[in-house]
A and B are shown apart, each in its own frame.
Chain A
Amino acid sequence: MIDTVTVMFSVNGNDVSAAVEPRTLLVTFLREHLGLTGTHIGCDTSQCGACVVHLDGRSVKSCTMLAVQADGQAVTTIEGLGTPEKLHPMQAAFNENHGLQCGFCTPGMIMSAVDFAQGNPSPTPHEVREWLEGNICRCTGYHNIVASVEAGARAMAKA
């Protein structure tokens, strides 16, 4: 008999407490228990980065973490970054630079990019491309994504 485990952590600033099966992935918890479907499941093999969220401010792949491992920590998803009325500077930069085609990879790209820009306010295109190793765009729209991350990083530094 497998016992459920009670987890308590904050999601986008709201305290969350729930009993989960230990095998519940963080991405599953976010999407199916909390209805936060902005975090996507792409490859499910830890490679594509569509599921990237922040854990205590650092980007992680939520498909490769158990929900119980986030206990006591702060999770931020794409829903916690900005609102349609007031986009986060990185979201605005993706909008302005057309940094998306189908949009499936975009939440993960933006969450990864925000973490990157917090440590590097004026990155070179090469640095952006190296950082985005863990995010795959199968439309192959990398050129505009890199331009978006450069612009977003500069905008975040000014904000």
Chain B
Amino acid sequence: MYAFDYHKPRSLAEATALLNANPEARLLAGGMTLIPTLKQRLASPSDLVDLGGLPDLAGIFVGDGEVRIGAMTTHATVAHSAEVRAALPALAALAEGIGDPQVRHRGTIGGSISNADPAADYPAGVVGLGATVVTDRREIAADNFFTGMFETALEPGEIVRQVRFPIPEAAGYAKFPNPASRYAVAGVFVARAAGGVRVAVTGAGPSVFRVPEMEAALTASFTPEAIASVLVDADDLNTDLHATAAYRAHLVGVMAARAVTSALES
């Protein structure tokens, strides 16, 4: 690991000031991606600004038709929250499926979405539910937040504070996990709400994406059969040692059907 200076601010304003004063600084949330990246010398920030000293950034609030999750809330906290399990069980199940128990004890929702790994689980939930990302300066709709592989709409120094999920009528998430890492080879989040059905796919492409053909078919009939004939184009999907693009395209259909089944059972 390259050397860096370490700061643990006691307020959001202090964190912002540190980021502004050090253009090569990086935020540290749970560190489940950043620390392995530093260990491999794939990043060399001048400073780390640890958000672990800001308890206001962690916590769960359910009410007003929403589930609000603070950026520093761990995956384990979301997975085991009785309130989240009651209001939005698909999101609790998604959190329970991330990595392994020790990763879930440290990893956070804010860190996950800010990192925007193309195979991470939370981006599917954020886009599938049409959530809103609240930062220190604005609110960003999920559809505008993820802009590419490891790319988001966040500006330099912008800090995610909270994610606000509207509570849907029904929702489900299904993924085909990589057996070693538990990252999604393909994962699909499906949500039915008053405004229609949303289908968001992670793991299969360079970034999370929606499938309008599936959304239309499921808005007409919210059943696994409704999307059985929808073919996903493999042209823009990922090929790596785990799966070809064609296999991922097939998996998206299978996972979407399972997610719908899960939503109907919840």
Contacts and interface: CB of A to CB of B under 8 A. Distances in A.
Interface in A12-69: 21-23, 25, 44-47, 49, 52, 55, 58-61, 64-66, 68-69
Contacts of B6: 5, 22, 66, 68
Nearest to B180: A47
A85 interface: no
B101 interface: yes
Contacts of A47: 180-181
A65 B100 contact: no
Interface in B43-82: 48, 50, 52, 76
A134 interface: yes
Q: What is the interface of chain A mostly: helix, strand, loop, or mixed?
A: mixed
A25 B28 CA distance: 14
Given A2-B4, A45-B36, A64-B31, A116 B181 contact: no
Interface of A: 2-3, 5, 21-23, 25, 44-47, 49, 52, 55, 58-61, 64-66, 68-69, 71, 112, 115-116, 131, 133-135
A133 B35 contact: no
Interface stretch (B102-110, B149-157, B198-206): B102-110
Interface centre among A61, A115, A116 (most CB of B within 10 A): A61
Contact of A65 (B5, B35, B101, B181): B35
Q: What is the interface of chain B mostly: helix, strand, loop, or mixed?
A: mixed
Contact of A3 (B5, B32, B105): B5
Contacts of A5: 6
Given A22-B5, A22-B6, A133-B100, A64 B180 contact: no
B31 A23 contact: no
7 contacts: A5-B6, A45-B36, A58-B105, A59-B102, A64-B36, A69-B31, A69-B50
Contacts of A21: 3
